[in-house]
Amino acid sequence: MTQGASSKPVLCTGAYSFADKSLGDMIFPSIADFSRLTALIKERKKTHDRRVIIKVDGMVAIITGGGTGIGQMMAKALANAGAKVYILGRRASVLEAAAVMCDVASKESLQNAVDLLTSEVGYVNLVVANSGIMGPYTSYDSTLSIHELRTRLFDHVSMEDFTDTMHVNATAAYFTILAFLELLDAGNKNALKGGFGRPREEGSKVPLVQSQVIVTSSICAYSREKATAPAYGASKSAITQLAQHAATNLAPYQIRVNTLAPGFFMSEMAEPIISVRDPETEGIDHPDFMPARRFGTEEELAGTILYLASKAGAYCNGAIFNFDGGRLAVVPSTY
């Protein structure tokens, strides 16, 4: 110690300070530092609580095609975790509470849904673009002669049916993203005011959970196996690319875009696919068909959507979540 120097620490806000800088090896944190550290520890404990991390209390979510199948499973998962869920669909017979009649293949119908949501809540935190159709389930078959194959694919499938599949699964999903951009932006602004997704630190200009679009694609977007319906696979490849493109170009607006590529879950869409399989070689319980040897479960789908929608997945943007029980690992694919 230098003769005559004071060893008494001087408390300050922010960095550490000393009356004599020659005592730099003796660091004493300030009261303000202890206070911030205590608050951080409490926040971390709260954040790591499994009961809190995937809750979505206060979230406003929209799901297109949420009346049946995996859309309905996702809607239930979000609602049970605290979200206010609006289900958009064109079939009144399958819609439930908080349902909004909407044909996503119509810009006018999409705008009507936007107007309704604007008047009722004024913002949206999550849009799940889930509507889709199977389209013509006519695929390649190497057991046919070239003449038979041409007849099967050319004569038995109309261009209108093929194009309609692309229109619903890609074009309509893309315009669904665009239709709700202003409401998604309003969701971020509401978060900054203390709503769902509010910043972790007071004064931050960026929500902890930024507004998000989740697009439902399919493993068929990557599958090259002969049984994949060309129209359906092409449409899902298209919307996957559009979602990736949107993720990059909406990032400056703090709007995230992620993609789900599910495999086989019990739904209306999966039924015709499974029904034409050879039970001897392509049954669900056959390891060459599905390493998991089963369908995906509602709990697994719920876990995936809640991860992405909540704080747990708030760092994800531009991601593609393939969850298919290993299906793409055992068939020709581009994933």
Residue positions annotated with a catalytic role: 217, 232, 236
Q: How far apart are CA 29 and CA 34, in angstroms?
A: 7
Q: Which long-range contacts does 315-319 make (Cβ < 8 Å, 24+ apart)?
A: 316/256, 316/258, 317/210, 317/247, 317/251, 317/256, 317/257, 317/258, 318/244, 318/247, 318/248, 318/251, 318/256, 318/257, 318/258, 319/258, 319/259
CB atoms within 10 A of CB 42: 10
Torsion of CA 151, 153, 157, 163, to 10 degrees: -150
The helix (H) or strand (E) run that includes residue 85 is strand 84-89
Nearby residues of 189 by Cβ (< 8 Å), 6 or more positions away:
123
Nearby residues of 83 by Cβ (< 8 Å), 6 or more positions away:
56, 57, 58, 59, 60, 61, 126, 309
Quick one: 205 exposed, middle or buried, by C-beta within 10 A (0-12, 13-18, 19+)?
Answer: exposed
